[in-house]
Structure 1
Amino acid sequence: MDAIETNSLGRRFGDVNAVESLDLTVQKGEIYGFLGPNGAGKSTTINMLLGFTPPSSGSGTVLGYDLEHESVAIRQSVGVLPEDFGVYGRLTARKHVRFAIETKGADDDPDDLLGRVELADVADRTAGGFSTGMKQRLALAMALAGNPDLLILDEPSSGLDPNGAREMRAIIREENERGTTVFFSSHVMEQVEAICDRVGIMRDGRLIAEDAIDSLKDRFDADSRLVFTLDTVADDIVPALETMNGVTDINADGNDVSVVVADASRKAPVIEAVGASGVTIKDIRIDDSSLEDLFATLTTGERPTSRHAEENAANTTQLIREADQ
């Protein structure tokens, strides 16, 4: 049994199809990234999964419970971190968590849950003075009440600085290692790329792609960029490369030549062509497209035009991975 499964799930609001024919599968034990631009249908989907919004068509289950007929059981079994969670400023962290435990009818130790999100030392502080990161971790502690098999996290890194985002990712990984399935909705592509096993991408109410990130890049022929550092850039090298099959962009800057290919299979011919031109290749760097590039391609139908933006996205993702190690 999958953690989440929907079959032709849909929701209409008047003449608007907010979600249409959604076939979504989230496997037990994975971290699944749920992506899409504003208005794509992500929030409506989450509300249907939790039983807050009834579907107009189709069906689905969460942890084996039917969306329409067993919504109370779903909410009792799932931990939810909503977007823009608001704390009660006069209540302590412990009282927040105790309230969540009582609501779930569970018997957790509030201090244990606070310890799991690294808030044990502030259990008796009122939440009104917490930083954004602390509030997010408090919300996650409340979501962990009842030891849920599934966590639904809506923008868990929203408003966090890099250190706070790194701490949140570490906590999510720890919970996943305990066996918890994580459904992770976010606009921050670098965060998703750093943590998720698979992703689903929504556009205009439809799921347009679903797979592991690397597999999606292979399926949709995401761009790759080769940056050559040469001893000298001959006058004819750029025109020659521009005529090659699969080359979509080329730029020369000093002794660096940047070549973008739309198909990964075209990397080798480009490298051979540069080597055969008579120049000395001092260095080659290959920058494959980031999830942000793939997201832009799938949701807008256009390939990114800013190579600086692609480089920044790739560098940011690499820094995230290094920080997590």
Structure 2
Amino acid sequence: MNAIETKKLTKSYGKSRGIMDIDLEVKEGEIFGFIGPNGAGKSTTIRTLLGLIHKDSGEAKIFGMDCEGEREKILKETGYLPSEVFYYENMKAIDLLRYSASFYKKDCSKKIKELADALGLDLNKKIEDMSLGNKKKVGIVQGLLHSPRLIILDEPTSGLDPLMQQTFFELIQEENKRGATVLFSSHILSEVQKICDRVAIIKDGRLIQTQKISELQDNSYKKITFHVKDNPLDEFQLKGATNIEIKGQTVRFIYRGDCNLLLEKINNYPLLNVDISEPSLEEIFMHYYSDKNK
């Protein structure tokens, strides 16, 4: 069974960008990355899945249940960490978390303590006295305290220092080993690379690619840099070359295509040096956002 499944999911905000024809399948038990820059449609997709906003058309299901018609059942099985968390400032963390736990009709006290200890969170501190990072920790505990089958994370590491980010990743991996499915939304590709099995790339409200992380950075992509001896170059064009940067006598680009055509092309220049290497995931990611791929 798919934990998440959408078909032609569409939400419009009038002239503002929403999402269009989103076909998404997240398998039960996997950690799935959902990446794109801010404004690409990640949060709109998530809010539609959670029934926080209503779709215009299409289908959205979680564990086979309709995201609007069976929303209450879905929320009992789902943990959600939004990109920004807001709470009653005068409440203590423990009171807030106990109140949250009461909705699930189960004893969550042990899980709350385990999560708080792992994150170094003072449960007796008032929300108003907490830093942004500690408020985010409260959100993490709140999202995981009922051991949900599905965990939805929207830009979850904002506000956390690097060491706490690593602790957070370890907690999510433990939840996944327990059997939880994870949807990890981020604009930081390196975060997604650390823990995800597959990744979907969203651009301007549309999905443009879904791949295994291992396939996203395969040998078909090369990072090319060459330097010419004489006059600076004005332009460079080659089929299969994207993200082309020309700075004086240096040309850089990402290439996917026939290596013979590549070598034939650059051999026409008075070369000083050539470097062919594997691109980073970030550079491949930017390939999907280049002008030629609009």
TM-score range, shorter chain: 0.7 to 0.9
Residue in structure 2 matched with residue 323 of structure 1 by the alignment: none
Residue 121 of structure 2 contacts residue 138 of structure 2 at CA under 8 Å; is this kept in 1? no
Q: Aligned match of 1:293 in 274, 278, 283?
A: 283
* Higher relative contact order structure (alpha carbons within 8 Å, sequence separation ≥ 6): 2
Structure 1 residue matching 2:2: 3-state secondary structure: coil
Aligned-pair CA distance for 1:16: 5.2
Question: Match of 1:301, as an amino acid?
Answer: D
Residue in structure 2 matched with residue 263 of structure 1 by the alignment: 256
Residue in structure 1 matched with residue 268 of structure 2 by the alignment: none
Aligned-pair CA distance for 1:88: 3.3
Mapped partners of 2:152, 2:202: distance in 1: 17
Gaps of 5+ in 2: 231-235, 264-274
Residue 216 of structure 2 contacts residue 281 of structure 2 at CA under 8 Å; is this kept in 1? no
Q: TM-score, normalised by structure 1?
A: 0.72
Aligned-pair CA distance for 1:48: 0.9
Structure 1 residue matching 2:72: 3-state secondary structure: helix
Structure 2 residue matching 1:23: 3-state secondary structure: strand
Residue 65 of structure 2 contacts residue 74 of structure 2 at CA under 8 Å; is this kept in 1? yes
Residue in structure 2 matched with residue 114 of structure 1 by the alignment: 113
Aligned-pair CA distance for 1:78: 0.6
Residue in structure 1 matched with residue 68 of structure 2 by the alignment: 68
Gaps of 5+ in 1: 228-232, 237-241, 271-284, 304-325
Residue 21 of structure 1 contacts residue 58 of structure 1 at CA under 8 Å; is this kept in 2? yes
Mapped partners of 2:103, 2:15: distance in 1: 37
Residue in structure 1 matched with residue 125 of structure 2 by the alignment: 125
Give CA deviations for 1:64-121 in whole Å, capped at 9, x if unaligned. Answer: 2112211121122110001111243332222121111012333211x43232352476
Structure 1's 245 and 43: CA in aligned 2 closer, same or farther, altered over 3 A?
A: closer
Residue 29 of structure 1 contacts residue 182 of structure 1 at CA under 8 Å; is this kept in 2? yes
Aligned-pair CA distance for 1:191: 1.1
Structure 1's 169 and 264: CA in aligned 2 closer, same or farther, altered over 3 A?
A: farther
Residue in structure 1 matched with residue 41 of structure 2 by the alignment: 41
Structure 1's 171 and 131: CA in aligned 2 closer, same or farther, altered over 3 A?
A: farther
Aligned-pair CA distance for 1:177: 1.6
Give CA deviations for 1:246-293 in whole Å, capped at 9, x if unaligned. Answer: 897899x9xxx99866138749x98xxxxxxxxxxxxxx975222322
Question: Match of 2:154, as an amino acid?
Answer: D
Structure with a larger share of its residues in strand: 2
Aligned-pair CA distance for 1:217: 3.5
Mapped partners of 2:277, 2:76: distance in 1: 45
- Tell which deviates more after alignment, 44-53 or 128-137: 128-137
Say if 2:141 is the partner of 1:141.
yes
* Aligned-pair Cα RMSD in Å: 3.6
Say if 2:221 is the partner of 1:222.
yes
Residue in structure 2 matched with residue 156 of structure 1 by the alignment: 156
Pairwise mapping of residues 1-325 of structure 1 onto structure 2 (< 5 A)?
1-15=1-15, 18-109=18-109, 111-117=110-116, 118-119=118-119, 122-218=122-218, 221-224=220-223, 262-263=255-256, 266=259, 287-301=277-291
Question: Match of 2:222, as an amino acid?
Answer: D
Mapped partners of 2:254, 2:203: distance in 1: 26
Residue 9 of structure 2 contacts residue 58 of structure 2 at CA under 8 Å; is this kept in 1? yes
Structure 1's 120 and 211: CA in aligned 2 closer, same or farther, altered over 3 A?
A: same
Q: How many pairs align?
A: 280
Structure 2 residue matching 1:164: 3-state secondary structure: helix
Question: Match of 1:5, as an amino acid?
Answer: E
Residue 104 of structure 1 contacts residue 145 of structure 1 at CA under 8 Å; is this kept in 2? no
Question: Match of 1:95, as an amino acid?
Answer: D
Mapped partners of 1:2, 1:301: distance in 2: 34
Aligned-pair CA distance for 1:59: 0.8
Aligned-pair CA distance for 1:55: 1.3
Question: Match of 1:52, as an amino acid?
Answer: L
Aligned-pair CA distance for 1:38: 2.7
Question: Match of 2:102, as an amino acid?
Answer: E
Q: TM-score, normalised by structure 2?
A: 0.79
Aligned-pair CA distance for 1:32: 1.0
